[in-house]
Amino acid sequence: MQGRSVCAESGRHSSSKVEWMEQQVNRRRWQRYSFDASVRVVVDRSTDKTTVYGRGVRLSEGGICIFAAANLPVGSDINVEFKNPHTHQPVRLRGKVRNRSVYLYGVEFLHDELKAQQELARLGAEYGGGSA
């Protein structure tokens, strides 16, 4: 595993480990939400294009935790596609694989387009119970 996993959670921790994890969660820029949806990941390298299918596990405005039985190198630029579970509208975002733990991938969204920023804010509001 490279770096700390941003998306793995387990109920098997000592109380001091749980306290440390809670402190880490409180330091995050965006609230994370449980997320269960099919996800399509497209890795577009100059020589080939690879498509991988997986499941979304957790979602925030800043990224997504994906379970995928694949080999996505840390640092890879990817395209993440899924349907918004609330509206069933397609969501397509660019991201970068920031860490990996076996088949769990922490992906940071790249906020390079206004449309993507608006979509992420809308998703955050839907999952957080607010309004966009």
Instruction: Tell me the one-letter amino acid at 45.
Output: R
Maximum Cα–Cα distance across the chain: 48
The Cβ of residue 30 has, within 10 Å, a number of other Cβ atoms equal to 14
pLDDT in tens, 64-101: 999 999 999 999 999 999 998 778 888 899 999 999 99
Domains of the chain: 31-128 (2.40.10.220)
pLDDT in tens, 31-45: 788 888 999 999 877
Cut 0.85: pTM above it? no
